Amino acid sequence: MKLIGMLDSPFVRRVAIAMKRYGLPFEHLDWSVGRDFARIRQYSPLGRVPTLVLDDGEVLTESAAILDYLDQQVGETRSLLPARGAERRRALQLIALTIGAAEKGREQIYESAFRPPEKRHEPWIERCRSQMHGALAELHRACAARGDGVWLVGAQMSHADITAAVITTFLTESPAVALDQAAYPALRSLTARCEALPEFRETHVPWFAPA
Ligand SMILES: N[C@@H](CCC(=O)N[C@@H](CS)C(=O)NCC(=O)O)C(=O)O
Protein backbone atom coordinates (compact mmCIF):
# COMPACT_ATOMS: atom_id res chain seq x y z
CA MET A 1 0.00 0.00 0.00
CA LYS A 2 1.05 3.59 -0.59
CA LEU A 3 0.18 6.33 1.89
CA ILE A 4 0.20 9.76 0.27
CA GLY A 5 0.67 12.93 2.33
CA MET A 6 3.15 14.60 4.63
CA LEU A 7 3.28 13.51 8.24
CA ASP A 8 2.92 17.03 9.57
CA SER A 9 -0.73 16.58 8.60
CA PRO A 10 -2.47 15.05 11.65
CA PHE A 11 -4.96 13.37 9.31
CA VAL A 12 -2.12 11.56 7.52
CA ARG A 13 -0.29 10.91 10.76
CA ARG A 14 -3.20 9.21 12.50
CA VAL A 15 -3.42 6.78 9.57
CA ALA A 16 0.36 6.15 9.60
CA ILE A 17 0.31 5.48 13.36
CA ALA A 18 -2.56 2.99 13.01
CA MET A 19 -0.76 1.20 10.14
CA LYS A 20 2.38 0.90 12.23
CA ARG A 21 0.47 -0.37 15.25
CA TYR A 22 -1.30 -2.89 13.06
CA GLY A 23 1.99 -3.97 11.49
CA LEU A 24 0.71 -3.21 7.99
CA PRO A 25 3.66 -2.33 5.73
CA PHE A 26 3.31 0.71 3.47
CA GLU A 27 5.34 2.96 1.23
CA HIS A 28 5.11 6.56 2.36
CA LEU A 29 4.85 9.18 -0.42
CA ASP A 30 5.78 12.37 1.40
CA TRP A 31 3.91 14.72 -0.95
CA SER A 32 2.89 18.26 -0.03
CA VAL A 33 -0.63 19.56 -0.74
CA GLY A 34 1.04 22.79 -1.92
CA ARG A 35 4.10 21.75 -3.93
CA ASP A 36 2.82 18.33 -5.11
CA PHE A 37 -0.84 19.25 -5.68
CA ALA A 38 -0.89 18.01 -9.30
CA ARG A 39 0.73 14.69 -8.39
CA ILE A 40 -1.75 14.11 -5.54
CA ARG A 41 -4.67 14.86 -7.86
CA GLN A 42 -3.63 12.02 -10.16
CA TYR A 43 -4.78 9.74 -7.33
CA SER A 44 -7.34 11.91 -5.54
CA PRO A 45 -9.19 14.40 -7.77
CA LEU A 46 -10.10 16.34 -4.62
CA GLY A 47 -6.39 16.93 -4.00
CA ARG A 48 -6.55 15.99 -0.33
CA VAL A 49 -4.40 13.84 1.92
CA PRO A 50 -4.34 11.27 3.36
CA THR A 51 -4.85 9.18 0.26
CA LEU A 52 -4.22 5.46 0.47
CA VAL A 53 -3.50 3.47 -2.69
CA LEU A 54 -4.21 -0.21 -2.17
CA ASP A 55 -2.10 -2.94 -3.76
CA ASP A 56 -4.74 -3.53 -6.46
CA GLY A 57 -4.79 0.20 -7.33
CA GLU A 58 -8.01 1.10 -5.49
CA VAL A 59 -7.76 4.58 -3.97
CA LEU A 60 -9.18 5.56 -0.57
CA THR A 61 -9.41 9.11 0.76
CA GLU A 62 -10.55 10.70 4.04
CA SER A 63 -8.80 9.44 7.17
CA ALA A 64 -11.98 7.99 8.71
CA ALA A 65 -12.76 5.94 5.59
CA ILE A 66 -9.15 4.75 5.35
CA LEU A 67 -9.09 3.73 9.02
CA ASP A 68 -12.40 1.91 8.60
CA TYR A 69 -10.77 -0.18 5.85
CA LEU A 70 -7.64 -0.84 7.93
CA ASP A 71 -9.68 -1.76 11.03
CA GLN A 72 -11.54 -4.34 8.99
CA GLN A 73 -8.28 -5.74 7.63
CA VAL A 74 -7.01 -6.52 11.14
CA GLY A 75 -10.37 -7.61 12.54
CA GLU A 76 -12.45 -6.76 15.60
CA THR A 77 -10.06 -8.05 18.24
CA ARG A 78 -7.13 -5.88 17.08
CA SER A 79 -9.12 -2.90 15.83
CA LEU A 80 -8.33 0.45 17.46
CA LEU A 81 -12.05 1.28 17.45
CA PRO A 82 -14.51 -0.48 19.79
CA ALA A 83 -16.64 -2.85 17.73
CA ARG A 84 -20.09 -1.70 18.82
CA GLY A 85 -22.33 -0.11 21.42
CA ALA A 86 -21.77 2.87 23.69
CA GLU A 87 -17.97 2.71 23.54
CA ARG A 88 -17.94 2.84 19.76
CA ARG A 89 -20.44 5.71 19.74
CA ARG A 90 -18.37 7.62 22.31
CA ALA A 91 -15.11 7.03 20.42
CA LEU A 92 -16.64 8.19 17.13
CA GLN A 93 -18.08 11.31 18.77
CA LEU A 94 -14.74 12.24 20.34
CA ILE A 95 -12.99 11.64 17.02
CA ALA A 96 -15.54 13.83 15.20
CA LEU A 97 -15.00 16.60 17.74
CA THR A 98 -11.23 16.35 17.44
CA ILE A 99 -11.23 16.23 13.65
CA GLY A 100 -13.49 19.29 13.70
CA ALA A 101 -10.97 21.15 15.88
CA ALA A 102 -8.19 20.22 13.45
CA GLU A 103 -10.20 21.38 10.45
CA LYS A 104 -10.85 24.72 12.15
CA GLY A 105 -7.11 24.95 12.85
CA ARG A 106 -6.39 24.05 9.23
CA GLU A 107 -8.65 26.92 8.07
CA GLN A 108 -6.59 29.37 10.16
CA ILE A 109 -3.37 27.98 8.69
CA TYR A 110 -4.62 28.15 5.11
CA GLU A 111 -5.79 31.72 5.61
CA SER A 112 -2.16 32.74 6.06
CA ALA A 113 -0.58 30.09 3.79
CA PHE A 114 -2.75 30.52 0.70
CA ARG A 115 -4.14 34.08 0.95
CA PRO A 116 -2.22 37.33 0.48
CA PRO A 117 -2.34 39.52 3.63
CA GLU A 118 -4.77 42.04 2.10
CA LYS A 119 -7.31 39.26 1.44
CA ARG A 120 -7.31 37.76 4.93
CA HIS A 121 -10.54 38.16 6.84
CA GLU A 122 -10.02 38.46 10.61
CA PRO A 123 -13.69 37.80 11.60
CA TRP A 124 -13.53 34.45 9.76
CA ILE A 125 -10.23 33.54 11.45
CA GLU A 126 -11.69 34.50 14.83
CA ARG A 127 -14.78 32.36 14.20
CA CYS A 128 -12.56 29.36 13.36
CA ARG A 129 -10.42 30.00 16.44
CA SER A 130 -13.46 30.09 18.69
CA GLN A 131 -14.93 26.88 17.17
CA MET A 132 -11.55 25.16 17.54
CA HIS A 133 -11.29 26.15 21.21
CA GLY A 134 -14.90 25.09 21.84
CA ALA A 135 -14.08 21.60 20.56
CA LEU A 136 -10.74 21.42 22.40
CA ALA A 137 -12.35 22.45 25.68
CA GLU A 138 -14.90 19.65 25.31
CA LEU A 139 -12.13 17.17 24.49
CA HIS A 140 -10.14 18.36 27.50
CA ARG A 141 -13.19 17.79 29.73
CA ALA A 142 -13.48 14.26 28.34
CA CYS A 143 -9.80 13.60 29.19
CA ALA A 144 -10.18 15.10 32.66
CA ALA A 145 -13.29 13.02 33.37
CA ARG A 146 -11.37 9.82 32.59
CA GLY A 147 -8.43 10.78 34.81
CA ASP A 148 -4.68 10.67 34.33
CA GLY A 149 -3.18 7.51 32.84
CA VAL A 150 -6.54 6.31 31.46
CA TRP A 151 -7.47 6.13 27.78
CA LEU A 152 -10.41 8.11 26.43
CA VAL A 153 -12.64 5.11 25.79
CA GLY A 154 -12.38 1.58 27.19
CA ALA A 155 -9.22 -0.02 28.57
CA GLN A 156 -7.01 0.26 25.48
CA MET A 157 -5.65 3.10 23.41
CA SER A 158 -8.07 3.79 20.53
CA HIS A 159 -8.26 5.99 17.44
CA ALA A 160 -9.83 8.58 19.78
CA ASP A 161 -6.57 8.87 21.78
CA ILE A 162 -4.36 8.80 18.69
CA THR A 163 -6.44 11.49 17.01
CA ALA A 164 -6.55 13.70 20.11
CA ALA A 165 -2.77 13.50 20.52
CA VAL A 166 -1.70 14.10 16.92
CA ILE A 167 -4.13 16.97 16.54
CA THR A 168 -3.01 18.63 19.77
CA THR A 169 0.60 18.39 18.60
CA PHE A 170 -0.31 19.73 15.16
CA LEU A 171 -2.20 22.72 16.55
CA THR A 172 0.65 23.45 18.97
CA GLU A 173 3.42 23.29 16.37
CA SER A 174 1.76 25.16 13.49
CA PRO A 175 2.75 28.82 13.88
CA ALA A 176 -0.59 30.22 12.63
CA VAL A 177 -2.40 28.52 15.53
CA ALA A 178 0.33 28.10 18.19
CA LEU A 179 -2.00 26.36 20.64
CA ASP A 180 -1.00 26.84 24.28
CA GLN A 181 -1.46 23.37 25.80
CA ALA A 182 -1.33 24.87 29.30
CA ALA A 183 -4.99 25.84 28.78
CA TYR A 184 -5.90 22.14 28.48
CA PRO A 185 -3.77 20.22 31.02
CA ALA A 186 -5.63 16.91 30.79
CA LEU A 187 -5.35 16.96 27.00
CA ARG A 188 -1.68 17.88 27.30
CA SER A 189 -1.09 14.91 29.56
CA LEU A 190 -2.80 12.46 27.16
CA THR A 191 -0.81 13.93 24.27
CA ALA A 192 2.51 13.56 26.12
CA ARG A 193 1.71 9.94 26.98
CA CYS A 194 0.91 9.12 23.35
CA GLU A 195 3.82 11.07 21.87
CA ALA A 196 6.25 8.99 23.96
CA LEU A 197 5.16 5.77 22.20
CA PRO A 198 7.35 4.40 19.35
CA GLU A 199 4.76 4.83 16.54
CA PHE A 200 4.25 8.45 17.51
CA ARG A 201 7.97 9.18 17.70
CA GLU A 202 8.60 7.53 14.33
CA THR A 203 5.94 9.70 12.65
CA HIS A 204 6.69 13.02 14.33
CA VAL A 205 8.21 15.40 11.78
CA PRO A 206 8.94 19.13 11.91
CA TRP A 207 6.20 21.51 10.84
CA PHE A 208 6.23 22.29 7.09
CA ALA A 209 4.32 25.32 5.77
CA PRO A 210 1.86 24.06 3.12
CA ALA A 211 2.01 26.78 0.44
N1 LIG B 1 -11.33 15.36 7.06
C2 LIG B 1 -10.18 15.07 6.25
C3 LIG B 1 -9.23 16.25 6.30
C4 LIG B 1 -8.01 16.05 5.43
C5 LIG B 1 -7.27 17.37 5.20
O6 LIG B 1 -7.78 18.46 5.48
N7 LIG B 1 -6.06 17.28 4.67
C8 LIG B 1 -5.32 18.47 4.33
C9 LIG B 1 -3.87 18.32 4.74
S10 LIG B 1 -3.66 18.60 6.46
C11 LIG B 1 -5.39 18.66 2.82
O12 LIG B 1 -5.35 17.70 2.09
N13 LIG B 1 -5.49 19.91 2.38
C14 LIG B 1 -5.49 20.27 1.01
C15 LIG B 1 -6.81 20.86 0.58
O16 LIG B 1 -7.85 20.56 1.21
O17 LIG B 1 -6.79 21.61 -0.39
C18 LIG B 1 -9.53 13.76 6.75
O19 LIG B 1 -9.75 13.42 7.92
O20 LIG B 1 -8.85 13.08 5.96
Cβ–ligand 1 contact at 48 (below 6 Å):
yes
pLDDT the model gives residue 61: 97
pLDDT the model gives residue 3: 98
Question: 158 in helix, strand or coil?
Answer: coil
pLDDT the model gives residue 207: 82
Domain positions in the chain are 2-74, 85-197
pLDDT the model gives residue 209: 75
Q: What is the mean pLDDT of each run of 10 residues along the chain (211 residues)?
A: 97 98 98 95 97 98 98 98 97 98 96 92 96 98 94 97 98 96 97 98 87 68
Residue 162 CA: distances (Å) to CA of 11, 16, 108, 159, 191: 10, 11, 22, 5, 8
Cβ–ligand 1 contact at 9 (below 6 Å):
yes
Distance 47 CA to ligand 1 centre (A): 8
pLDDT the model gives residue 144: 97
CATH of 85-197, one of 3.90.950.10, 3.30.70.100, 1.20.1050.10, 1.10.10.10: 1.20.1050.10
CATH of 2-74, one of 3.30.1390.20, 3.10.20.30, 1.10.10.10, 3.40.30.10: 3.40.30.10
Cβ–ligand 1 contact at 136 (below 6 Å):
no
Cβ–ligand 1 contact at 171 (below 6 Å):
no
pLDDT the model gives residue 208: 77
Cβ–ligand 1 contact at 210 (below 6 Å):
no
Rounded to whole angstroms, the maximal C-alpha distance in the chain is 53
Q: How does DSSP assign 2-52, residue by residue?
A: EEES-TTSHHHHHHHHHHHHHT---EEE---TTTTHHHHHTT-TT--S-EE
Distance 50 CA to ligand 1 centre (A): 7
Cβ–ligand 1 contact at 33 (below 6 Å):
yes
**Minimum CA distance residue for ligand 1 atom 19:** 63
